């Protein structure tokens, strides 16, 4: 018998196939595993990422939607809210409830109402508007603060070479 998580992920995949969303594509890594998705995000206009294609893996826990997935870029990316291993750090991907560090409100963290679409749209928004207040990549945040376009832009472009 299919789990609640499997049924929900199957529905979300079907919805995205029927109604694709501009800015990204998503599908299963392996047709036999609904819990691991391959995502390609197109760099948003008017950002350092414009015109780029950024691949990521979205891994869902067995108790989805009660717990958030993890998202890890497989394309190297220089961003204040992406760890050096590619893992995305945004509030909606943090476990539900109170933040033990006191940086986020519970309402900003994971909620079962989020979908694959809302998660990826939040990541696209993160690319457009980094949160340098709580960085996963301190060096990227500092370079963004020091010289908003030039330092981060030069670092990012050097990664592409």
Positions marked catalytic: 89
For helices 116-128 and 4-18, angle between their N-to-C axes, nearest 10 degrees? 60
- 60 contacts 35 by C-beta, under 8 angstroms: yes
């Amino acid at each position: 018998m299919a789990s609640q998580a499997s049924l929900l992920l199957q529905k979300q995949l079907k919805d995205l196939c029927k109604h694709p969303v501009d800015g990204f594509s998503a599908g299963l890594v392996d047709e036999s595993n609904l819990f691991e998705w391959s995502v390609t995000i197109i760099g948003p206009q008017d950002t350092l990422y414009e015109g780029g294609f950024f691949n990521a893996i979205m891994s869902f826990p067995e108790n989805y939607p009660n717990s958030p997935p993890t998202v890890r870029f497989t394309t190297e990316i220089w961003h204040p809210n992406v760890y050096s291993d590619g893992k995305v750090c945004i509030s909606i991907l943090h476990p539900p409830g109170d933040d033990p560090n006191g940086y986020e409100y519970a309402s900003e963290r994971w909620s079962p109402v989020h979908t694959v679409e809302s998660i990826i749209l939040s990541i696209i928004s993160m690319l457009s508007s980094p949160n340098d207040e709580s960085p996963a990549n301190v060096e990227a945040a500092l370079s963004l603060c020091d010289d908003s376009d030039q330092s981060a832009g030069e670092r990012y472009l050097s990664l592409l070479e």
